[in-house]
Amino acid sequence: AGTFLSVRDLHVSFRTEDGIVRAVDGLSFDLERGRTLGIVGESGSGKSVTNLTILGLHNPMFTSVEGEILLDGQELTTAKESELERLRGNKVAMIFQDPLTALSPYYTVGRQIAEPYMKHRGASKKEAWDRAVEMLGKVGIPHPKERAKDYPHQFSGGMRQRAMIAMALVCDPDLLIADEPTTALDVTVQAQILDLLKDLQQEFGSAIIFITHDLGVIAEMADDIMVMYAGGAIERGTARDVLRAPQHPYTWGLLNSMPRINSDLGAPLAPIPGSPPSLLKPPSGCRFHPRCTFQDRVGGNRCASERPLLAPDRASACHLTAEQKQTIFIEEIKPR
């Protein structure tokens, strides 16, 4: 164990025609080997940008990155493209919502899984092909020997997802970044893929960053949870703590908008009113304040003027006192 990925005060901004978009604004977190960190948030919260930045997949022409990303002791924000190339698909791999972003239509599935193994491990064509077939077997593709010769379009959506996972894991990465990998799949296939990822994590021991807007998926997968809003982390903790006793009004809103699996009535969804803020001109103070109904409990103008930060010793970035957070959750949020 021990910290394997350490992100410190990360700022990522894009230059656009309309101005500077501050997509990630002061983010810090750590990840230990073999653990799964679930990052949850609405689109535009910065969760995908953070992970593309870790992989160095941002466009340097339009993007400015500040802060530190230490992966196994190596600083990535200043790494050369050639160094990042050596990491991608090797030490760090990624799976996406749409496998067709990762798989080319022009090559067989087997060849595409074999390629990173040749590139990073110096394997021969034959060794790499055998490894590809082995990986297809591991991800549960029947008749892997034959199916390796197929093209992606000959696979079903769920099978393509499995093939992409095989490609991501072929070099036994230390870190797997999964960005909404099951969002497009139906519920049954989704459950199968999540089970597969858990089994493979046991076998490969990779740390996983699992990005999703779905708290149900997070509950299934994550050891730790970080909730992001408008480019920053607003709550983090063990999955157990965050799901059982969340401390931030935004997380309360997320939980309340989740269907209750164990409720016969299927409690009505209560989406969080309002919409995520523009990152061209983020709100002052607490970025959630335009949508938050608890500002009067903090008092004064504090929520609109002072940005609450997520200190290492504090699980949520909100001006409410620890006692208020606990009481409000137990008495007003939970019973809903």
Interface with ligand SF4 by CB under 6 A: which residues?
249, 286, 288-289, 292, 294-295, 298, 303, 308, 318-320
Among ligand SF4, Mg ion, none, partner that 103 touches (CB below 5 to 8 angstroms by kind): none
Q: What is the closest distance, in whole angstroms, from the C-beta atom of residue 240 to ligand SF4 in the complex?
A: 22
Q: What is the closest distance, in whole angstroms, from the C-beta atom of residue 228 to ligand SF4 in the complex?
A: 14
| 279: Cβ contacts below 8 Å, ≥ 6 apart | 21, 22, 23, 44, 230, 231
66: Cα within 13 Å, side-chain hemisphere = 8
Among ligand SF4, Mg ion, none, partner that 318 touches (CB below 5 to 8 angstroms by kind): ligand SF4
* Nearer residue to Mg ion within complex by CB, 28 or 48: 48
Among ligand SF4, Mg ion, none, partner that 50 touches (CB below 5 to 8 angstroms by kind): none
* Nearer residue to ligand SF4 within complex by CB, 217 or 292: 292
Among ligand SF4, Mg ion, none, partner that 289 touches (CB below 5 to 8 angstroms by kind): ligand SF4
User: Which of these segments, 46-54, 83-91, 150-158, 283-291, binds Mg ion (CB under 5 A)?
Assistant: 46-54
* Nearer residue to ligand SF4 within complex by CB, 184 or 328: 328
Q: What is the closest distance, in whole angstroms, from the C-beta atom of residue 37 to ligand SF4 in the complex?
A: 22
CB 89, CB 120: distance < 8 Å: yes
Q: What is the closest distance, in whole angstroms, from the C-beta atom of residue 45 to Mg ion in the complex?
A: 9
Q: What is the closest distance, in whole angstroms, from the C-beta atom of residue 257 to Mg ion in the complex?
A: 18
Among ligand SF4, Mg ion, none, partner that 48 touches (CB below 5 to 8 angstroms by kind): Mg ion
DSSP state of 228: E
Phi, psi for residue 26 in degrees, rounded to 5: 85, 55
Copy the structure tokens of residue 32.
């230990």
* Nearer residue to ligand SF4 within complex by CB, 155 or 294: 294
CA distance 239 to 246: 10
DSSP state of 183: T
CA distance 166 to 177: 14
* Nearer residue to ligand SF4 within complex by CB, 122 or 299: 299
Q: Give the other-Cβ count within 10 Å of 80's Cβ.
A: 9
Largest distance between two CA atoms of the chain: 70
**Long-range contacts formed by 217-224: CB under 8 A, 24+ apart:** 217/38, 217/182, 217/190, 218/38, 218/40, 218/243, 219/243, 220/194, 221/36, 221/38, 221/194, 221/197, 222/36, 222/37, 222/38, 223/35, 223/36, 223/37, 224/35, 224/36, 224/37, 224/38
Q: What is the CA radius of gyration of the chain?
A: 21
Single-letter residue type at 186: D
CA 195 remoteness from chain centre: 17
DSSP state of 335: T
Among ligand SF4, Mg ion, none, partner that 292 touches (CB below 5 to 8 angstroms by kind): ligand SF4
Decide if residue 48 touches Mg ion (CB under 5 A).
yes
Map the footprint of Mg ion across residues 73-132, applying CB under 5 A: none
Q: What is the closest distance, in whole angstroms, from the C-beta atom of residue 47 to Mg ion in the complex?
A: 6
Q: What is the closest distance, in whole angstroms, from the C-beta atom of residue 259 to ligand SF4 in the complex?
A: 24
* Nearer residue to ligand SF4 within complex by CB, 201 or 295: 295
Map the footprint of Mg ion across residues 313-332, applying CB under 5 A: none
Decide if residue 295 touches Mg ion (CB under 5 A).
no
Q: What is the closest distance, in whole angstroms, from the C-beta atom of residue 45 to ligand SF4 in the complex?
A: 14
Among ligand SF4, Mg ion, none, partner that 254 touches (CB below 5 to 8 angstroms by kind): none
Say if residue 18 is exposed, middle or buried (CB neighbours under 10 Å; 0-12, 13-18, 19+): exposed
Point out which residues bind Mg ion (CB under 5 A).
48
